[in-house]
Amino acid sequence: MIRTLFRMIEKDLRRHARDPLQIALWAAIPLAIAILMKLAFGGGGTPEVHVRLAIADQDRSLVSQLVRGAFSNGQLADLYETTIVDSAEARELVADGKVSAALFIPQGFGDDYLRGRETHLSLVENPAEQILPRIAEETLEFLADGGSVLRSVLDSPIDLILGTIEENREPADSTVLSISSTVHGSLERISASLFPPVLALVDGEGAGARLAAADLAVAGRTSEDLGSDGSVPEGGGFEEDSPSAAAGSAAIGSATGSATATKDVDYFALFFPGIVLMAMLFIGQALASDLWEEHKLATFERTVVSSDGVGAWVLAKTLSGTILFLVVFELLFLVGRYALRLEMNSIHLASLYLGFVGFAFLAGLEWLSVAAKTENGGSLLMNLVVMPLILLGGSLFPLESMPPFLRTIGEWTPNGRALGVVKGILFGTATGPSVLGSAAFCLALGFVFVTLASRQSRRRFLGE
């Protein structure tokens, strides 16, 4: 049977090779849409993608206000949409998917920071989003590093100010002059390293150790990790063996590296994977209609009398279509990376994963094609399924830019869920088990649809 299956696959690939224009056109339509949008917005200008951040400030101190204000000033103001709420509302916003993340500033944060004691900021991330919560986490990592360095540099004047406040007296002129002189000297001492900076971003493990004076940490948490009021449990922070600890304690190399990670949000890098899935759906419709074409050419009837039957025939057509998908995926990702200059990593792994996704989608479309009584009816039925998937599943607009209600629907569509995994692969946020689990599910689902399409082909073409 294996040898016969390979012969069937080879036969289908030869047929498609004699008419490559059809597949090329279906793949070119989504690519043309991407290129036109790229040209329309220009080389440097891209539609804005905002990180929606809820901030629950339980401290309400001068230091916590500075943390809140950091997201509303400079270039971060163009990237973030912040909402100041209480702890309960912040948790609800994350649970409802209305924000990308929620930042909890615990009570006593400002006092602990000024006194050089360890303190924590807690970030609850929206699990339905892959990229935007990671941007928020990177931003907080940058703020934590900067705050730790600032506390270290201004250690002496801060201690003088706190001592004066504790004694509840007006500072003497000599104390004011001493504080001013110390601050000026500290800033002058480090100005040679800051203007211009002597630190450079180094890729790879062991890039350097995080500078920490007050041990200010940013804890990436789920809502279950916090108390009912959103506060940090005693002793909270990074656990050394947790994924959040690995992300939080990994060296960033320089403040510039973190700042760049938050600024360079490429809209088209988020948009392009959806274009690839659109091409898959278009080509899948054309390949699924090939079942009717083989019936009209009487190839189906000859297959029925063979020892391998309809099941091998449908499986061979699905596998040959999957091979075509892999070729198209590779070409599209190469065009995206090198022609459109999109920053995407692991494009070969993304293509391989999409091969499993394409296998499941093609088998499902083949089943829909023969579920109708006529070829035109099958095409109409596939269009009724495919077009809503394209509109809602992130192929025309990135899910990250959709309103919360539509984004929630899109993330639960089959192609929307696959798109989330693909983006995780391309942007380095996916985990091995999640990718393998999704690929295995697609493979199993594909075989289920192959079985359904085989049985339906017998009923439709043989009247059984």
pLDDT profile of the chain (464 residues), mean per 10:
81 84 81 75 53 89 82 78 89 88 88 77 84 85 78 62 57 56 58 49 39 41 48 42 34 30 57 90 90 79 66 89 93 88 89 95 93 89 91 84 84 91 89 92 95 88 72
| Ranges of H-type helices in 96-204 | 109-114, 132-153, 155-166, 173-194
**What is the spatial distance between Cα 321 and Cα 358, in angstroms, rounded to a whole number?**
8
Amino acid at 368: L
Report d(CA 230, CA 227) in Å as an integer.
5
| Cis preceding linkage at 157, omega within 30 | no
The residue type at 200: A
DSSP state, residue 54: E
| Coil/strand/helix, residue 236 | coil
Q: How far is CA 394 from the centre of its chain?
A: 12
Q: So where are the chain's domains? A: 2-42+266-462, 51-263
pLDDT at site 132: 84
Question: What pLDDT sits at residue 172?
Answer: 56
Torsion of CA 388, 394, 396, 401, to 10 degrees: 130
Contact 188, 233 (CB under 8 A): no
Q: Position of tokens 């998908």?
A: 325
Nearest to 123 by CA among 101, 145, 142: 101
pLDDT of residue 168: 56
- Buried-state track 186-217, b at ≥16 Cβ within 10 A, e below 16: beeeeeeeeeeeeeeeeeeeeeeebebbbbbb
DSSP assignment of 88-126 equals HHHHHHHHTT-SSEEEEE-TTHHHHHHTT--EEEEEEE-
Closest among 369, 286, 304 to 15, alpha carbons compared: 286
Which CA distances in Å does 90 have to 67, 121, 394, 412?
Answer: 17, 14, 27, 23
Token pair 């002597």: residue: 198
Q: What is the 8-class DSSP label of residue 224?
A: G
Q: CB neighbours (10 Å) of residue 10? A: 12
| pLDDT score at 276 | 92
Phi, psi torsion values for 277, nearest 5 degrees: -70, -30
Q: What's the rounded Cα separation, in Å, for the pair 426 and 435? A: 12
Q: Is 431 helix (H, G, I), strand (E, B) or coil?
A: coil
Cβ contacts of 147 within 8 Å, gap of 6 or more = 113, 214, 216
62, 110 contact by CB (below 8 A): yes
Per the CB < 8 A criterion, the answer to whether 270 and 423 are in contact is: yes
The reply to whether the predicted model has a pTM over 0.75 is: no
* Confidence (pLDDT) at 255: 30
For tokens 């047929």, name the residue.
15
Q: Report residue 44 as tokens.
A: 């440097």
Cβ count within 10 A of residue 371: 16
Question: Cβ(86)–Cβ(184) under 8 Å?
Answer: no
Which pLDDT belongs to residue 27? 81
- Which residue in 424, 277, 271 sits closest to 345, CA to CA? 424
- pLDDT, position 209: 34
Q: What is the pLDDT of residue 165?
A: 55
Q: Quick check: 310 and 304 in contact, CB under 8 A?
A: yes
User: How long, in residues, is the chain?
Assistant: 464
CA dist., res. 128 & res. 157, Å (int):
45
pLDDT at 134: 84
Residue at 97: amino acid letter: G
Amino acid occupying residue 59: D
